[in-house]
């Protein structure tokens, strides 16, 4: 009986990975946008952006997921008068990306502030515009400083994918729950899900470690 349900767990694991990676990509873009907004010299942009990010960090993740899924449908219905049901998967991606970005933006902002001011001044002395200086000189160093925080947020994001089971996405946790409903073996299936999450985490940590060694190779004197 256990083998009969393995294909379902396999597809659910792939869906979980797809959900996490999609959320990571969208979340990195949003986090960069949040950093730019928070660093704006205009207070009418900077202050509302900081307030929104603070609110997002203060809300429970499950509320963000439910607000995105149910709120988007309700808002569209009030604006257009028509009921439109959005994809639960992509609503989950957007919700998890927003949650990820609200925390990752602080890691990126701290990494940018860790870059010595003299590097900006040196780039300006070489005739580089501020945008080119950021892309060519500052940004490569930002990832090195931000990688520990971002890697931690990635691991948190992996576990947060279980939240989208509440809106009907058949990811690993939801699939385990459905199998348990049929077999009445909660320890077996929730334990299997836990082992799969652990395996994904260990593989992620392996690649993160490889990436950390690569981005710090010059500091360790390795070319």
The answer to whether residue 63 sits within a structural domain is yes
The residue to which tokens 């590097």 are assigned? 119
Instruction: Give the pLDDT of residue 33.
Output: 92
Number of domains in the chain: 1
Residue-by-residue pLDDT tens, the chain, 223 positions? 678 888 899 999 999 999 999 999 999 999 999 988 888 888 888 899 999 999 999 999 999 999 999 998 899 888 888 888 889 999 999 999 999 999 999 998 888 888 888 887 888 888 887 778 877 788 778 888 888 889 999 999 999 999 999 998 989 999 999 999 988 888 999 999 999 999 999 999 999 888 888 877 666 555 5
CATH number at 27 reads 1.10.3720.10
Task: Please give the residue range of the domain that contains residue 209.
Answer: 3-112+129-215
**Spacing of C-alpha 135 from chain mean position:** 22
The angle that helices 172-183 and 6-38 make with each other, rounded to 10 degrees, is 150
pTM of model > 0.95 = no
The answer to whether residue 119 sits within a structural domain is no
The answer to whether residue 123 sits within a structural domain is no
The answer to whether residue 118 sits within a structural domain is no
Report DSSP letters for 30-81, one per residue: HHHHHHHHHT-S-HHHHHHHHHHHHHHHHS-HHHHHHHHHHHHHHHHHHHHS
Neighbours of 41 (CB within 10 A): 6
The answer to whether residue 53 sits within a structural domain is yes
The answer to whether residue 106 sits within a structural domain is yes
85 vs 65: CA distance, rounded Å: 15
The answer to whether residue 120 sits within a structural domain is no
The answer to whether residue 188 sits within a structural domain is yes
According to DSSP, residue 169 is labeled: -
Instruction: Give the pLDDT of residue 3.
Output: 82
Nearest 5 degrees, angle CA 119-CA 123-CA 124? 115
């Amino acid at each position: 009986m256990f083998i009969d349900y393995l294909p379902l767990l396999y597809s659910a694991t792939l869906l979980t990975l797809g959900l996490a990676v999609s959320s990571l990509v969208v979340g990195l873009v949003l986090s960069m946008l949040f950093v730019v907004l928070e660093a704006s010299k205009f207070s009418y942009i900077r202050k509302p952006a900081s307030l929104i990010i603070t609110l997002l960090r203060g809300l429970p993740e499950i509320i963000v997921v439910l607000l995105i899924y149910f709120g988007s449908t309700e808002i569209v219905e009030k604006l257009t008068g028509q009921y439109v049901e959005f994809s639960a998967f992509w609503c989950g991606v957007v919700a998890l990306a927003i949650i990820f970005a609200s925390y990752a933006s602080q890691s990126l902002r701290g990494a940018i502030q860790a870059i010595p001011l003299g590097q900006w001044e040196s780039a300006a002395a070489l005739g580089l515009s501020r945008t080119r200086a950021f892309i060519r000189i500052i940004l490569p160093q930002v990832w090195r400083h931000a990688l520990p925080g971002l890697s931690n947020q990635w691991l948190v994001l992996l576990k947060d994918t279980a939240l989208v089971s509440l809106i009907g996405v058949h990811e690993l946790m939801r699939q385990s729950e459905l199998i348990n409903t049929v077999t009445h073996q909660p320890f077996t299936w929730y334990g299997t899900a836990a082992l799969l999450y652990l395996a994904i985490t260990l593989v992620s940590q392996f690649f993160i470690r490889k990436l950390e060694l690569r981005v710090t190779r010059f500091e360790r004197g390795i070319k």
